Amino acid sequence: MQSPLNPKSQIPNLKLPRVLIGVGGGIAAYKVCEVVSTLFKAGVEIRVILTRSAQEFITPLTLATLSRHAAYTDDHFWQPIHSRPLHIELGEWADMMLIAPLTANTLAKLAYGMADNLLTNTVLASTCPVLLAPAMNTDMWEQQAVQRNWHQLLTDSRYHGNGTASGLLACDRVGAGRMAEPPEIISHIQSLLHTQGKRDLAGKRVLISAGGTREYLDPVRFIGNPSTGKMGLALAQAAFHRGASVTLVHGPASWDVPLGVQGISIINAEQMQQVMLEYLPDAAVIVMSAAVADVKPRDYSTEKLAKRSLPQALPLEPVPDIVAQLGQLKQPHQCLIGFAAQTGDIVTPANEKLQNKKLDFIVANPIDQPDSGFGSDNNQAIFLDSHGRKVEIAPCSKLQMAHHLFDFVVSGEI
C-alpha cells in the first residue's frame, strides 16, 4: 500500500501527526503491526498502549520496535515514575487515537465512562477523535448489549467507527465481527487527521460514480479506458469519514467497496445512467468522477466474432451523456460535481464543461503528468466552481485530493 501521508523527509519543519494506538486483547491484534509500521514509514509519530489481555497476543517489544518508541502497559500506569500522570501526558499528546482491536469489554467500559486501566483512563483524559475498530466472534458482536454499547458510543461526536467485516474468524465461524483490514484503518486515520474529526457531511446523502465503463462489441471485446476508479473510491471514503451516507456506483474494479458504503456495480454507460438517475432525487451531493465512454459499437454480437469477421470500420453510436442529464434534472438544493481529465490546457475545456453541463463544481486534472491521473495513487488538479472560484491542488494522494475537494465544496456552503 502506498504511504497515505507525506514522508518525514518532505515535512522536516512541520509538526508530525501524532497517533496514539490502544491495542485490545484479541487475535486481530496482529493486524495492528501493519498499521504501526505503515504509519511510521509515512512520518507519523506513534505511541502504543497495550491492555493486559493484549499482551497475551502480541508483545510490547514488537510494537516498540515498529513504532521506535517504548510501548506502554498497565505496569507503567501504576508506577509513579513520571513527572506528570502518564494518562494525562498521553491524552494531551495525541492528535487522534485508534483502538484496535476493540473488544466487547473495552467497548462496554467506554460506553459507560469507566476507567480502570491505562487505556481507558487515557481516553477519558483526552479530547481528540477516537477511531474504533472492533473485532470479536459473531455471536458476541451481535449480542443486544454489545450493539447497544456500540451505537451509544457512536452518538458521542468524539468516536468514529470503522465497523466490522464479514469473513472467516479465528473461531472458524464465518460471519460478522472481523476487524477491518489495515489499509482501510489507515485511510480512516488519514481522514481524521485531515478533518480533526469533524463531520461536515453528516445527514447528507452523497452519490458518487467511479471507474470506467465498458461498451462491448462481443462477449470478449469492448471499448473502454484505463480508469481504475481509485479517485471515486477515495471520494467515497472521504465522504463516509465526514459523516455522509454514501452510494458508490462503479464500473469493473480491482478494489473492494469500503465498509459502510453502499456499492452498486455496473458495466456500461446505460447501466450507470439508470442507477444514477434512480438515486439522484435523494442525493444532496452528486460527484460524477467516472470515466464514462463517449461511444459504443452500434452492433453487438452475442457470440465471439472470429478475427476474420471483425469489421474493417467499426460503426459507432453515442452513449448517454449522464452528467448533462444530471445537470438538467438536479434541484437547487443539490450540488453536482464533475471531472475533466485533460492533457495540455486543462482549464479551458473544464470551464466549458462546467458551464455547458450546468455543474456547480468541476475538477480539472491532468492525465499527462507523472504519477497523476488514471491508475495512479496520486493526483493533482484545479478546482473550479460556477461562481468563478479557482483553487490549484498540488500533487497529493487521491484521498487527500478528495478531502481538498470536499473542503472546497463545503466552503461554498452546500
Q: Which residues are annotated as a binding site for CTP?
A: 294, 304, 320-323, 339, 353, 357
Give the active site residue among 33, 128, 171, 396. 171
Residue list for the binding site: 294, 304, 320-323, 339, 353, 357
DSSP states of 11-33: -TTSPPPEEEEEE-SSTTHHHHH
And the C-alpha cell for 403? 478531502
DSSP label of 253: -
The set of residues, in sequence order, having a beta carbon less than 8 Å from that of 4 and lying 6+ positions away, is: 38, 42, 186, 187, 189, 190, 397, 399, 400
Decide if 40 contacts 46 (C-beta within 8 A).
yes
Q: Is 396 in the active site? A: no
Please, what is the end-to-end C-alpha distance for the chain in angstroms?
A: 33
| Cα–Cα distances in angstroms (integers) from residue 154 to residues 51, 70, 201, 243, 272, in the given order | 22, 30, 16, 11, 34
The set of residues, in sequence order, having a beta carbon less than 8 Å from that of 327 and lying 6+ positions away, is: 336, 357, 358, 359
And the C-alpha cell for 27? 487475535
Q: How many other CB atoms are there within 10 angstroms of residue 78's CB atom?
A: 10
Residue 332 class from Cβ within 10 Å (0-12 exposed, 13-18 middle, 19+ buried)? exposed
The H-assigned helical ranges of 136-229 are 138-141, 144-154, 182-195
- Active-site residue numbers? 171
